[in-house]
Amino acid sequence: MEKELLERGPVLDEKGCPIPGYSRRSTLVYDRKAIKAPPWRIKEWDFYQISNDRLCLQFTIGHAAYAGQVSLMLFDFVKGEKLLDLNKILVLPFGSLHMPENAEEDNTLTYDKGGIFMRFETRKDGRVLTCRWGDLEASIRLERKNPDSLVINLPFNEYAHAFYYNHKINCMTAEGFVKNADKEWHFEKDSSFGILDWGRGVWPFHNEWYWSNGTGCLNGEIFGFNLGCGFGNTDTASENILFYKGKSHKLGKVDFTLGKEYLDPWHLTDKEGRLDLTLTPMYDRTTRIKLLWVNNCCHQMFGTFTGKAILDDGTTLQINNIISFAEHAVNNW
């Protein structure tokens, strides 16, 4: 049932309805002016995450039209310790952030106001993330190692003009530093990886999702995955995919099975028997945002993944203790 979009075309048709499907590159063209919904319904974000075997660094620039966010968070998920948490809530930003309309083309996204400077610069396969915020200075360079990625364009059953156009790029190596006063943290290229979660769309007010993404080394090669469910109509496009040796391997729908507590093991399986992963969590990074009528809560669980994944050619990969995350989010925004 899933539809791969191989030819270039618009995200929305002439009536403002999404053209559903998935692709492995930026095949569709996002045009903010083509959206047939009130401006306060538009949501756009760029979220980067950099991690190694104990540290996770997150950058966010985004908005839900009537509320926006610029943030940086650093935490040690082995110790269960939050090291930095800088967050600026923007009231009524609407289109003032000038979010890029393509996740792969060269572009620069900058927020520079009130003593906060954050910039995401994309040049070919390289990306540079820079932040200066009070005593904090951060600089991270990402290098893309896989030509394929995962792009989905999903409709929502609630109403015709709702859609989610999302591009996730992982399998990026990362290197750089974070300095704050007399403390300093480093990410080394041979042991650090980055992901981009790039989202644009018009969402229903209430939604819920499960998401997992990771990159690591397996048999001396870079292995990555993106898995998710719970939002939109995924009959024509799920966001489930594997990456290995520079190639992508599309999966169908995936289920997330949780225990009674978030720190209990998570079980991730697909419908065709090609994926069977168990996440053993070690840290619950819980975030809550309440502003005006916005009420969002996300449990992002970091831990180790063990199990198996089967590639398109039938090759079975044994996954042993790859460190990554899975999350459950419930949002009213």
Q: Give per-residue pLDDT as tens, 25-84.
A: 999 999 999 999 999 899 999 999 999 999 999 999 999 888 899 999 999 999 999 999
| Res 110: pLDDT | 98
How many whole angstroms separate alpha carbon 251 and alpha carbon 324? Answer: 19
Residue pLDDT, tens place only, 9-22: 999 999 999 999 99
Which of 305, 229, 285 shows the shortest CA–CA distance to 58?
Answer: 285
Residue 49 lies in a domain: yes
Q: Which residue segment(s) compose the domain that 111 sits in? A: 9-332
Torsion angles phi and psi, residue 225, rounded to 5: -155, 155
- Write out the two tokens for 78: 């082995």
Residue pLDDT, tens place only, 190-244: 999 999 999 999 998 889 999 999 999 999 999 999 999 998 999 999 999 999 9
Residue 3 lies in a domain: no
Share of the chain above pLDDT 90, in %: 90
Question: Contact, 177 vs 194, CB < 8 A?
Answer: no
Residue pLDDT, tens place only, 139-160: 999 999 999 999 999 999 989 9
Share of the chain above pLDDT 70, in %: 99
How many whole angstroms separate alpha carbon 108 and alpha carbon 26? Answer: 17
| 8 pLDDT tier (thresholds 50, 70, 90) | very high
Which of 111, 126, 148, 123 shows the shortest CA–CA distance to 23?
Answer: 148
Region 286-308 average pLDDT: 89
| 333 pLDDT tier (thresholds 50, 70, 90) | confident
Residue 249 lies in a domain: yes
- Is it the case that residue 108 has pLDDT exceeding 80? yes
Distances (CA, A) of 327 to 24, 142, 230: 23, 23, 12
250-255, Cβ contacts within 8 angstroms, sequence gap of 24 or more: 250/2, 250/4, 250/22, 250/312, 251/227, 251/275, 252/2, 253/229, 254/227, 254/228, 254/229, 255/229
- Is it the case that residue 292 has pLDDT exceeding 70? no
| Res 272: pLDDT | 96
How many whole angstroms separate alpha carbon 244 and alpha carbon 131? Answer: 32
| 167 pLDDT tier (thresholds 50, 70, 90) | very high
Residue 260 lies in a domain: yes
Residue 60 lies in a domain: yes
Region 275-290 average pLDDT: 94
Residue 2 lies in a domain: no
Q: Residue 52's domain is classified under what CATH number?
A: 2.40.370.10
Which of 213, 186, 185, 188 shows the shortest CA–CA distance to 279?
Answer: 213
Residue 1 lies in a domain: no
How many whole angstroms separate alpha carbon 257 and alpha carbon 7? Answer: 36
- Is it the case that residue 5 has pLDDT exceeding 90? yes
Overall domain count for the chain = 1
- Is it the case that residue 299 has pLDDT exceeding 70? yes
